[in-house]
Amino acid sequence: MVSRTTALAEELALARPSPADLEELCGQMLSMVVIRNVLRIIDAVAFYLVGAFLIWRSDKKQRFGDSVAKTIVVKA
């Protein structure tokens, strides 16, 4: 199932989006960033050992904040 954020991002790549779509996408991205970074506190427990363990156990190599916010880190 494709999320609304993914659908909007694909629309940005293919066509000129409406201002309302841009506003919605920016709002969703901002909430993802906030969730991801607030939950960094959990990852930092015991000198980031909790975060390292969660990354090791995750199929997508995600921290706790990444999995909750439904984000991934892409290598450049």
Residue 76 has pLDDT above 80, yes or no: no
Higher pLDDT: 34 or 6? It is 34
3-state SS of 11-63 is HHHHCCCCHHHHHHHHHHHHHHHHHHHHCHHHHCHHHHHHHHHHHHHCCCCCC
Residue 59: which pLDDT band, with cuts at 50, 70 and 90? very high
- pLDDT-derived band at 1 (thresholds 50, 70, 90) equals low
52 occurs within a structural domain: yes
Q: Percent of the chain at pLDDT above 70?
A: 89
Residue 74 lies in a domain: no
In a domain, 57, yes or no: yes
N-term to C-term CA, the chain: 26
Residue 39: phi and psi, rounded to 5, are -75, 0
Does 9 fall in a domain?
Answer: yes
Range of the domain at 14: 4-69
Q: Domain total for the chain?
A: 1
Domain assignment present for 22: yes
Residue 6 pLDDT greater than 80, yes or no: no
76 occurs within a structural domain: no
